[in-house]
């Protein structure tokens, strides 16, 4: 069973003999969701080790596409945050923070959709491979963003996984612990200080914190029901 991320269908275009509608703007969430959706469909049957390696490559491809989007937006004087392509005078630091926030929120959306799928399914066999694929890619991307020096994205994913690990439903707790294990594995593999990420880097200095959204309404139903 493939997990749906409830992406709204594109609006129907109106035929016109004189003008051509411009293509919709590529956004950070759109890039991530398209890759996650393709990954869960193409790698669901892979062995765990193979799936982890494929997730590394997919995460690298996502980072490249987001970097290209950020560069193009910067050159055109556009905001990566504004879907209407309005010109804004964002600084490079503001752009980086916006992108961090969008990546974190989109990964949380993937997690919430996955947990909702688990909650609504009677049999683990119907979702196990797809959920495993999603979590591999979420962990790989969250814990490998080179520009996320403060670990904002990774901490957001880990914090949400910890929240799910405290619910009453056994299968949700088990899957959240699997995701936590994947995150720790990526942190150790990438030579990041996993302990400092988990502690929110309290050891020194102020930590920049991206504004991460609360769970969407569907995942709130999951938490209220568990």
Write out pLDDT tens, residues 148-172.
767 889 999 999 999 999 999 999 9
Average pLDDT (189-193) is 59
- Residue 108 and residue 213: Cα distance in Å, rounded? 9
The whole-angstrom distance between residue 225's C-alpha and the CA centroid of its chain comes to: 24
Residue matched to tokens 């390696």: 53
CA distances from 220 to 212, 216, 226 (A): 15, 6, 10
* CB 105 within 8 Å of CB 213: yes
Report residue 45's pLDDT band, with 50, 70 and 90 as the boundaries. Answer: confident
pLDDT at 212: 54
Task: Evaluate if pTM is beyond 0.85.
Answer: no
Structure tokens that stand for 66 in this block: 């987001």
Instruction: Give the chain's radius of gyration (CA, Å).
Output: 18
Residue 173 confidence (pLDDT) above 70 = yes
**Please, which pLDDT band fits residue 142 given cuts at 50, 70 and 90?**
very high
> Cα dihedral angle (55, 177, 142, 191), rounded to 10 degrees?
-90
What count of Cα atoms within 13 Å lies in the side-chain half-sphere of residue 28?
A: 25
Cβ–Cβ under 8 Å, residues 3 and 135: no
> Angle formed by the axes of helices 92-120 and 217-225, to 10°?
50
Per DSSP, 210 falls in state -
Q: Which residues contact 6 (CB under 8 A, 6 or more apart)?
A: 113, 218
Structure tokens at 55: 């997730």
pLDDT tens per residue, range 95-132: 888 889 999 999 999 999 999 999 998 888 888 899 99
pLDDT tens figures, 77-87: 555 554 544 54
Least confident of 16-25, 70-79, 84-93, 191-200: 16-25
Residues of the chain with pLDDT > 70, as a percent, come to: 65
- Of the pLDDT bands very low, low, confident and very high (cuts 50, 70, 90), residue 94 is confident
Higher per-residue confidence, 122 vs 6 = 122
pLDDT at 59 over 50: yes
Closest to 115 measured CA to CA, from 171, 77, 60:
171
Alpha carbon of 42 to those of 3, 36, 117, 129, 206: distances in Å? 13, 10, 18, 11, 41
């Amino acid at each position: 069973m493939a997990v749906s991320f409830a992406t709204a269908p594109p609006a129907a275009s109106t035929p016109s003999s004189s003008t051509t509608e411009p293509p919709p703007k590529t956004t950070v969430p759109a890039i991530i969701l398209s890759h996650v959706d393709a990954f869960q469909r193409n790698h669901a049957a892979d062995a765990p080790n193979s799936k982890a390696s494929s997730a590394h490559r997919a995460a690298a491809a996502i980072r490249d596409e987001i970097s290209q989007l950020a560069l193009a937006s910067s050159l055109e004087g556009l905001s990566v945050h504004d879907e209407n392509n309005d010109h804004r005078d964002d600084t490079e630091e503001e752009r980086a923070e916006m992108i961090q926030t969008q990546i974190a929120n989109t990964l949380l959306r993937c997690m919430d959709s996955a947990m909702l799928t688990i909650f609504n399914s009677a049999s683990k066999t119907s979702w196990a491979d797809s959920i495993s694929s999603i979590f591999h890619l979420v962990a790989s991307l969250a814990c490998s963003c080179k520009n996320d020096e403060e670990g904002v994205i990774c901490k957001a994913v880990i914090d949400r996984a910890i929240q799910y690990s405290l619910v009453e439903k056994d299968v949700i707790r088990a899957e959240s612990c699997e995701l936590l294990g994947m995150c720790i594995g990526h942190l150790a593999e990438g030579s990041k200080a996993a302990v400092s990420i988990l502690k929110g880097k309290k050891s020194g200095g102020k930590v920049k914190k991206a504004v991460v959204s609360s769970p969407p309404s569907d995942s709130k139903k999951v938490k209220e029901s568990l």
